[in-house]
Structure 1
Amino acid sequence: MSEQGGRKLDTPSTRRTISFNLDSDVVGMYSERVARFLGTGRYLAIQTVVVIVWIALNLVAVTIRWDPYPFILLNLAFSTQAAYAAPLILLAQNRQENRDRVALEEDRMRSAQTKADTEFLARELAAVRLAVGDTVTRDYLRKELDDLLDELTERLAARDAESADEADADDRSQ
């Protein structure tokens, strides 16, 4: 391995180039602003006024004609505008599509979570209904206690009647 001027021949040379470090979000933000402005009625009105003034000056003012009748310079300006506007509009549309995709995915996740929460709450409600169905209600308990009181009253009355009969039988036997 021979060396020339302190550089190895098997090592690629490094070129120093000017590099632009552009943040894609910043470029996208500005492209959206431009695309938003190009799609307004205000822009169309301004462009129409500029075109009318351009044509009028080139037709009427003979001394200052910078773009005679076929208006080649005007066509070049429109072509240049279209060459820059179209990619900016496409970039803005792509960014909007990405935002829509992210929003749609978030909506899907939120919908799935809501569905899962609803199913959980439905199961919990069903469990509560089953648990409430097995519990004693106030009316049922009151009826059961009234029936028990009636039964006890009948038994006491029957016992008192038996005691009275036994006492009468004891009195008669004496």
Structure 2
Amino acid sequence: MNASHARPDKAQISKEDLQQLNQLRQHRRVHRKRLPLQAPSVAEHFEAPAPTRGQRLADGVAATIGSWRFIAIQSTAIVIWMVGNVMSGGGAWDPYPFILLNLLLSFQAAYTAPAIMMSQNRQSELDRRHAETDYEINVKAELEIELLHEKIDILKERELLALTEAVQALSAQLETLTKRLDK
């Protein structure tokens, strides 16, 4: 093999590209320790531990309170409460300004707000896990693409070398034929 046809050395790659390649390789080393090549399937990685009874309760409360059905039922109950107390005259169980109703609604808000926050915290934890998994998958894909680029470059270099050698052989044959014709 001719020295001029050897694989180009890294000095021909721009310093920025070489630096970026080295950073990717370092990144790959770090992430291979965290996520081995034979990682569990994505579905297994996304599986969260079974929710506790409290988490299921918080999710149920958040799902119920966050529905139009709940709003309609609660609005209807409030209207019935108010109309019933106003129409009953002197025998009202909660006369205007409906202090008992206000107390019940405050009690409801005091317990539902933390339940909704617990449900949101659990969902944000699941979202964080999904984001971490997506990041790790993207890093692996980026590294695989980098390796494919390197393999393609090697194949192109081999093909170019073979073509160069073929051209040199043809040039030598052409030169030999030209000398024969000149004689």
Q: Which residue does the alignment assign to 2:152?
A: 125
TM-score using structure 2 length: 0.61
Higher helix share: 2
Instruction: State the AA in 2 paired with 1:28.
Output: Q
Task: Report the CA distance shift for 1:149/1:29 in structure 2 as closer, same or farther (over 3 A).
Answer: farther
Larger Rg belongs to: 1
2-side partners of 1:146 and 1:89: how far apart?
Answer: 84
Q: Within the alignment, does 1:95 sit opposite 2:122 as a pair?
A: yes
Deviations 1:102-153 (CA, angstroms, capped at 9, x unpaired)? 111111111111111111111111111111111148x849956973894697
Deviation of 1:100 after TM superposition, in Å, equals 1.4
What are the ranges of 5 or more consecutive residues in structure 1 without an aligned counterpart? 1-22, 159-174
2-side partners of 1:42 and 1:141: how far apart?
Answer: 82
Q: Within the alignment, does 1:134 sit opposite 2:161 as a pair?
A: yes
- Determine helix, strand or coil for the equivalent of 2:52: helix
Deviations 1:21-66 (CA, angstroms, capped at 9, x unpaired)? xx85232123112212212222222211111111001101347622
Q: Within the alignment, does 1:77 sit opposite 2:83 as a pair?
A: no
Deviations 1:63-91 (CA, angstroms, capped at 9, x unpaired)? 76221222122112101111210110110
Alignment: residue pair count: 134
What are the ranges of 5 or more consecutive residues in structure 2 without an aligned counterpart? 1-49
Could you tell me which of 104, 119, 141 is aligned with 1:114?
141
Query: Identity of counterpart residues, as a percentage?
Result: 29
Q: Which residue does the alignment assign to 2:79?
A: 52
Q: Which residue does the alignment assign to 2:9?
A: none
Between 1:38-47 and 1:96-105, the stretch displaced more is 38-47
TM-score using structure 1 length: 0.64
Instruction: State the AA in 2 paired with 1:37.
Output: T
Instruction: State the AA in 1 paired with 2:61.
Output: V
1-side partners of 2:91 and 2:178: how far apart?
Answer: 122
Higher relative contact order, structure no. (Cα contacts within 8 Å, ≥ 6 residues apart):
2
